[in-house]
Amino acid sequence: MKTKKSESAGHFTDQSEAISRDLMPKPFGLSGKIWVAVLSFVFLLGFFFYIQQLRYGLGITAMRDYSTWGIYIANFVFFVAISLVGSLISAILKLSGAKWRTPLTRISEMIAVSSIVFAALVIIVDMGRPDRFMNVILHARIQSPITWDVLVITTYLAISLLLLYLPLIPDLAFMRDRFSDIPAWQKKMYTFMALGWKGLPGQEKILRRAEQILAILIIPVAFGIHTVTSWLFATTLRPGWDSSDFGPYFVSGAFMVGAGGVIAAMYIFRTHYSLEKYLTDKHFDYMGRLLVLLSLVYLYFNINEYFVPAYKMKGQEAEHLNALFYGRYAPLFWSVQIFGMVAPIIVLLFRRGRKPLPMFIIAILVVVGAWFKRFLIVIPTLSHPYIPMDRVPESWQHYLPTFKEWSITAATLAGALLIVTLLTRLFPAIPMVETMEEANPEHKETEIA
């Protein structure tokens, strides 16, 4: 793609041109095409099995009378958790005046939108009769946390879309005005989405105010979405779920995995698109410090969540905890606690640990650990009901997901990554105009001369 330097306002500096050249969305190279092909294959394979599930029901999964929630719901909680990164970067860091967050905002919002879209889809995947989905809304019981979850997910999705879209408007106008050799449909799309943006003071004022309002609004909604998700469990009398601090436990874990997700994405974009000038070591260092803080908070809640019931070891709760500490789930439980939480804290406390590559490895550990952490929250509890399992088939007493179930779950993860990938193909992953303005505070790149 080329930019039209001569036709635009006279103050389009060389530095701005370099920034736009670096940050503009680029066609996929060979590695990008392979990446998209792999994601598409995983997605289509899962879709193929989902069609089977639609035709033959949830019987194709390993879910039975006891494990009525399986990896679909663990995956749902993971998606909701990682979506909180949007509010962390776009709202909490913005309101706290952290200027360094600029290159991270778009990536985090893209992750937030794709995650929350798939969180909603996964709920439908988990339904035995998705054709009855509308009944959840038409016959909703307002007393049910499931109803609250539907409401808050929809609300969070709407705000996340706006938080992705509004800061994108100046970039859209910039691409509309300055990119000459892009396909006509792409130009039309930029023109339509840019809303006639000219960088007028009135437009600037409205846009900044709207962004500020959204940044404030999304924080309680973000806390709400994950608190309500935690209540789906905590309002149920089950060992491992019957806890009063499930809300903050979930929210703190969500911020941690969100930070891990954005760090991993930062590293991939930095290396793949050579964005070292924009996603600098300083950004990794700051995100590393933030991740340590979030991990410590989450560690604190983990200690509360496991130590207090383990001190009492009462009834079914003891059976549940024994299965986690020494039993069937112990290898997974200790791996998640050590590699997904303790190791990141230790490594990131050192300056060398906060360099991009170690940070990327740690971020992957955090994200993978977070997924299995949700597995450990959902599944072992269901295997230890208060009423003992009696005269039921052996296969009902344990839950081991089927290949089809794994494939469908992998498809949702691939789908979310595919959305992020396609969004970065169409829109700049790092805000272009904002970066230019920060580099040249006196220039307004999309303002009419």
Partner 1 sequence: MCTTRYFQTALKSLPVLAVLFYLPGLAMAQEEGGDASGTEKAETSIELVFTESNNHNKLLSATVKTKIEDVYQPVSGIEVRFYQTEVNPEQLLGIATSNKKGIAVLIVPEEKMDKSTPEYTFIAAVENNEQFEDNQEEVSAAESDFEITLETEDSVRMVHISFQAPDATGALAPVAEAEVHLYVQRMVGLLPLSDDPETTDENGEVSAEFPGDIPGDEDGNLIIVARVEDHERYGNLEFRRKVKWGVPLVIDPDRDRRQLWSSRANAPLYLIFIVNAMLIGIWGVIAYIIYNIFQIRKLGRQHAS
Are 53 and 411 within 8 A, CB to CB? no
Residue 304 is inside which H or E element, if any? helix 281-312
Q: How far is the CB of 198 from partner 1 (least distance, A)?
A: 5
Q: How far is the CB of 163 from partner 1 (least distance, A)?
A: 10
Indicate the residue among 221 and 290 with the shorter CB distance to partner 1.
Answer: 221
Indicate the residue among 203 and 424 with the shorter CB distance to partner 1.
Answer: 203
Indicate the residue among 166 and 436 with the shorter CB distance to partner 1.
Answer: 166
Q: How far is the CB of 334 from partner 1 (least distance, A)?
A: 38
Query: Is the backbone of residue 128 left (phi > 0), alpha (psi -120 to 50) or beta?
Result: alpha
**Helix and strand tally (H, E) in the chain?**
19, 0
Are 36 and 421 within 8 A, CB to CB? yes
Indicate the residue among 285 and 447 with the shorter CB distance to partner 1.
Answer: 447
Q: How far is the CB of 318 from partner 1 (least distance, A)?
A: 29
Q: Amino acid identity of 180? A: S
- Spatial distance between the Cα atoms of 244 and 248, rounded to a whole number of angstroms: 9
Q: How far is the CB of 194 from partner 1 (least distance, A)?
A: 8
- Spatial distance between the Cα atoms of 369 and 363, rounded to a whole number of angstroms: 10
Indicate the residue among 183 and 331 with the shorter CB distance to partner 1.
Answer: 183
Indicate the residue among 37 and 338 with the shorter CB distance to partner 1.
Answer: 37
Indicate the residue among 201 and 331 with the shorter CB distance to partner 1.
Answer: 201
Q: In this structure, what token pair is assigned to residue 114?
A: 């794709």
Q: Which residues contribute to the site for partner 1 (CB under 8 A)?
A: 44, 47-49, 51-52, 55-56, 139-143, 148, 151, 155, 158-159, 162, 166, 169, 183-185, 195-198, 200, 202-203, 206-207, 209-210, 213-214, 217, 221, 448
Q: How far is the CB of 148 from partner 1 (least distance, A)?
A: 7
Q: How far is the CB of 209 from partner 1 (least distance, A)?
A: 7
Question: Is 98 in a helix, a strand, or coil?
Answer: coil
Indicate the residue among 162 and 332 with the shorter CB distance to partner 1.
Answer: 162
Residues 6+ apart with CB under 8 A from 232: 145, 146, 149
For 75, other C-beta atoms within 10 Å of its C-beta total 25
Q: How far is the CB of 201 from partner 1 (least distance, A)?
A: 9
Q: Which residue from 217, 164, 234, 233 is spatially nearest to 193, judged by alpha carbons? A: 164
Are 159 and 221 within 8 A, CB to CB? yes
CA distances from residue 441 to 204, 406, 445 in whole angstroms, order as listed? 15, 50, 10
Q: How far is the CB of 74 from partner 1 (least distance, A)?
A: 24
Q: Which residue from 84, 77, 158, 71 is spatially nearest to 411, judged by alpha carbons? A: 71
Map tokens 């930029």 to a residue: 190
Q: Amino acid identity of 406? A: W
Query: Is the backbone of residue 258 left (phi > 0), alpha (psi -120 to 50) or beta?
Result: alpha
- Spatial distance between the Cα atoms of 49 and 404, rounded to a whole number of angstroms: 6
